[in-house]
A and B are shown apart, each in its own frame.
Chain A
């Protein structure tokens, strides 16, 4: 059955498109990349947080950022963010060490589960930070992902 699913989807589009499609089920299609353009142009985490109006966001254990400890390929790093904060309105992802750290902001509506799954590009070893907006408050959590040149293992 898995094999069939893969064959069908290969006919539709690339593996990358599949990832987006899977994630999009939880999103308002028009609201993807809802963040202000200025967040995408900002350099440095502080500037991005400012553009997102998230400066001073409180650290939250109710946000789980799932990403590999070491990236298998820095160009496509799978990242999942789960927010169990009631009334989560949006989840933004920031790759702290990228030249332009803002990756994207996903708006959730009508009580959608606080979950997004996507793939991001990481230039260097970096914290991947999630910023969650819920009921007018901002929360954050991060996970370090190492990007290495590889080789030399055991």
Chain B
């Protein structure tokens, strides 16, 4: 039965991919400009930028969000544009390879047509090509590189460290890196990174006791005779969003004032170009750009926004450009400056999508990836189940992958309800794809992915949801943490993003009955940040479920009913609950 269904789906998919033309190769030839990867050089200083690859060494699928609502000053502005609104804003033609790269539109068919994205062997080819026409160009990584896969977890990030050395990364700023623990971070920074001259920068990480800098705050590099300062900004809320006990002696925060101090210091030392390599998240970067003066560009990550062109932000002394370069190895940002007489006279930016079918694999990188995976191949390749529906994570409220994880948790643990963290990493699977252990780990692999079963009162459930919701929809970006809303299984609810904390969540119901604030419910969850937490790894819980069901039917998303969100909000489209 499941075989028949799978075969049927494959036929269906092939037919739909074919669409107007006969096979996908023809679509490719017709729709992809032959010079897609010819990026003419400009100026005399080039910076290449990648971010949030989440340890994805191999090509993957990644569906961009259809729900990414902006609040306060961010309403309807970049990066809170989805689908057609994003295409229109950036003047991208619909039904093109670019439209597929930057939006969720027509995802399944387009993914089958254009194939997978990213993969370090293909990224390496692109980086080398871009570098060949830009002598002296530097490659910068905004972090979230040492986490996100089974091999990164099992090798404590070593696979990614070696891949980044091979790729030619010059400068990096961190976030999930810290979940490898402070000691391991220092081991890499003072070991492999030092040996290969890779700078690990974070101006906003200081010791708890004296406030001393833990890492180098910035570096000044000379590119074709021009002094370029790169200042690192780690994710400011690492010890809150991730376990505090992993970095017990360090304090983070946004630290505008010390950012300003380092910008001034770098300028005083003669830097003609000053950029920030940031893991703030785009909304925080936009606010920082309006407050700190003297920064030319903030190269950002964390919020996984694939933003085709920089956003110019005015501040007291000039304009700062803010970029965000997507996630999962899907994009490479290329910024070219024309610097003359100590000033930037012009710039050009492209966020180049990495389509692995269009970029041959670099042989050395391919061999490296093969080598680091070898000890784990059998485990990674275990076939757990086949999915009939599209599986993805990214979006403000829920994704089909999270729904599957929560369905599995509730079933295996006998819970009334489930919470799944609003992580933005995790790849996508097309209907008919086999869910391997590797693909399950792409959704779940962290150093603290314990599964939990907790008794919570209805009031506590609401309080938790309110708390997380404020981290997403606080109108002041400096109070946002850059994740999405906690995914909720079993309990239906309504949500108003524009309310104040404590008033956004309403109408909580379990099986149609209002949640009793005083009654206790069994809630399954995973990835607790508290010290001393324990439990079966979440991937084992979900794997057990998948091995039993064998076929995963399309998931029914438990999305909140939205209050206060306008039908024409450009940050939401194709939503599967009422707005």
Q: Report which A residues bind B (CB closer than 8 A).
A: 2, 5-6, 9, 15, 18, 68-73, 78, 125, 146, 148-154
Contact = CB atoms under 8 A, between A and B. Distances in A.
A2 B422 CA distance: 39
Nearest to A69: B478
B482 A153 contact: yes
Contacts of B422: 152
B471 A148 contact: yes
A6 B210 contact: yes
Of A5, A150, A151, most B-chain CB atoms within 10 Å: A151
B241 to A, nearest CB: 2
A154 B212 contact: no
A152 B209 contact: no
B212 A2 contact: yes
Contacts of B474: 146
B253 A68 contact: yes
B141 interface: no
Contacts of B302: 154
A70 B237 CA distance: 8
Contact of A125 (B210, B239, B251, B501): B501
B247 to A, nearest CB: 10
B468 A152 contact: yes
B424 to A, nearest CB: 5
Nearest to B474: A146
A154 B175 contact: yes
Nearest to B482: A154
B288 to A, nearest CB: 12
Contacts of B237: 70, 153
A19 to B, nearest CB: 8
Contacts of A5: 210
B210 A72 contact: no
A69 B251 CA distance: 13
B154 interface: no
Nearest to B487: A152
A134 B467 CA distance: 39
Contacts, number: 83
B501 A150 contact: no
B235 A154 contact: yes
A82 to B, nearest CB: 12
Given A70-B479, A125-B501, A152 B253 contact: no
Contact of B209 (A18, A70, A150, A153): A18
Given A151-B528, A154-B175, A72 B483 contact: no
A7 to B, nearest CB: 11
Contacts of A150: 240-241, 244, 529
Contacts of B464: 149
Contact of A151 (B175, B241, B253): B241
B366 to A, nearest CB: 30
Given A69-B479, A152-B423, A154-B424, A15 B254 contact: no
A152 B471 contact: yes
B365 interface: no
A56 to B, nearest CB: 27
Nearest to A2: B212
Given A146-B479, A148-B471, A72 B209 contact: no
A153 B501 contact: no
A9 B207 CA distance: 14
Which size class do B's interface residues fall under?
35 or more
B244 A154 contact: no
A9 B483 CA distance: 39
Given A151-B529, A153-B235, A154-B482, A69 B241 contact: no
Nearest to B304: A154
Nearest to B425: A154
A73 B250 CA distance: 12
A125 B474 CA distance: 13
B421 interface: yes
A151 B281 contact: no
Contacts of B468: 149, 151-152
The 4 tightest CB contacts between A and B, nearest first, are: A153-B241, A152-B421, A154-B482, A150-B240
Nearest to A119: B208
Contacts of A18: 209
Contacts of A70: 237, 240, 479, 481
A152 B241 contact: yes
B242 A153 contact: yes
B209 A154 contact: no
Interface string B387-430: 00000000000000000000000000000000001111100000
B320 interface: no
Contact of A154 (B303, B467, B470): B303
A17 to B, nearest CB: 11
Interface in B463-512: 464, 467-468, 470-471, 474, 478-479, 481-484, 486, 501
Contacts of B241: 150-154
A9 to B, nearest CB: 8
Given A69-B253, A150-B240, A152-B483, A15 B209 contact: yes
A153 B484 CA distance: 8
Contacts of B467: 148-149
A2 B479 contact: no
Contacts of B304: 154
A145 B241 CA distance: 16
Contacts of A6: 209-210
Contacts of B484: 152
B281 A154 contact: yes
A107 B209 CA distance: 24
B527 interface: yes
11 contacts: A18-B209, A70-B479, A73-B244, A148-B240, A150-B240, A150-B241, A151-B529, A152-B421, A152-B423, A152-B486, A153-B235
A150 B468 CA distance: 8
A34 B281 CA distance: 44
B239 A72 contact: yes
A153 B252 contact: no
B31 to A, nearest CB: 33
B159 interface: no
A72 B212 contact: no
Given A72-B244, A149-B467, A153-B471, 16 more contacts: A6-B210, A15-B208, A69-B254, A71-B240, A72-B251, A73-B244, A146-B470, A148-B471, A150-B241, A151-B421, A152-B423, A153-B482, A154-B281, A154-B302, A154-B424, A154-B483
